[in-house]
Amino acid sequence: MRERKNGELRKIKITKNYIKQPVASALIEWGNTAVLCAATVEDKVPPYLEGTGKGWVTAEYSMLPASTKTRNPRDISKLKLAGRTAEIQRLIGRSLRAAVDLEKLGERTVTVDCDVLTADGGTRCASITGGYIALALAIKKLLKEGVLQESPMKCAVAAVSVGKVDGEILCDLEYAEDSRAEVDMNVVMTDGGSYVELQGTGEKGLFGDDELKALTRSAKAALRKIFAMQKKVIEND
């Protein structure tokens, strides 16, 4: 039984610069899910961008072994990056790049590391939402330090999961809901109201245009609140 209303978000708490070393960081606690997002900046770009004047934004995602109910062995112990991890960090990277004008960033790479401390559903959405904050704070710092003259930020980016569970359209699924969802959708948007990524999967169920509409509408409503929260955190920096 869900204690929240169908369209209600879990409580979200953001702690800026929780850790000291990276250029900027944000610890995002989203219900019981907690992800530490850290942005570091390096003065180099992948080989295919060298000499183009363009920068790069990339993301890495990882779950601490003790972040899940049953201990989850480290990738290094199997010498393989889990397929799920590859899929998620590519999604985070694409989402964050949508927020940045890579030409204005110049030939530097921002890496956003998203390390899941506790997992209770929605870790990829928390990573995108918190990762955007770390990224935006890092850019503010570069502007302040004079490394950048002009901001390369084009818009804010955030994400939320929605789904169909026991026939109901729910917003912000926690693990117990997610694991039995008929349809599961991750919606990444800009604060201007456009889609950046839309990934819906109906492995256990199927969905039609009506459900697609209901799911995206629920996501949009939730994302408005999330963008307000992001904005407050970043502006108060």
Residues that bind its own copies (CB under 8 A): 18-22, 25, 32, 34, 36, 38-40, 42, 60, 62, 64-69, 71, 74-76, 79-81, 83-84, 86-87, 89-90, 94, 97-98, 111, 113, 115, 117-120, 185, 190, 192-203, 206-209, 212, 216
Q: How far is the CB of 232 from its own copies (least distance, A)?
A: 24
CB nearer to its own copies: pick between 19 and 235: 19
CB nearer to its own copies: pick between 40 and 151: 40
CB nearer to its own copies: pick between 129 and 190: 190
Q: How far is the CB of 95 from its own copies (least distance, A)?
A: 8
Q: How far is the CB of 207 from its own copies (least distance, A)?
A: 5
Q: Which of 164, 86, 99 is nearest to 128 (CA)?
A: 99
CB nearer to its own copies: pick between 5 and 73: 73
Distance CA 160, CA 205 (A): 20
CA atoms within a 13 Å half-sphere pointing along the CA-CB vector of 212: 8
Distance CA 131, CA 115 (A): 10
Distance CA 61, CA 37 (A): 9
Q: Tokens representing 11?
A: 């409580």
Beta bridge partners of residue 187, listed in sequence order: 160, 198
CA atoms within a 13 Å half-sphere pointing along the CA-CB vector of 128: 31
Q: How far is the CB of 137 from its own copies (least distance, A)?
A: 13
Cα-flanking dihedrals φ and ψ of residue 229, to 5°? Answer: -65, -45
Q: How far is the CB of 120 from its own copies (least distance, A)?
A: 8
CB nearer to its own copies: pick between 210 and 235: 210
CA torsion 88-183-180-68 (nearest 10°) is 10
Q: How far is the CB of 182 from its own copies (least distance, A)?
A: 11
CB nearer to its own copies: pick between 170 and 215: 215
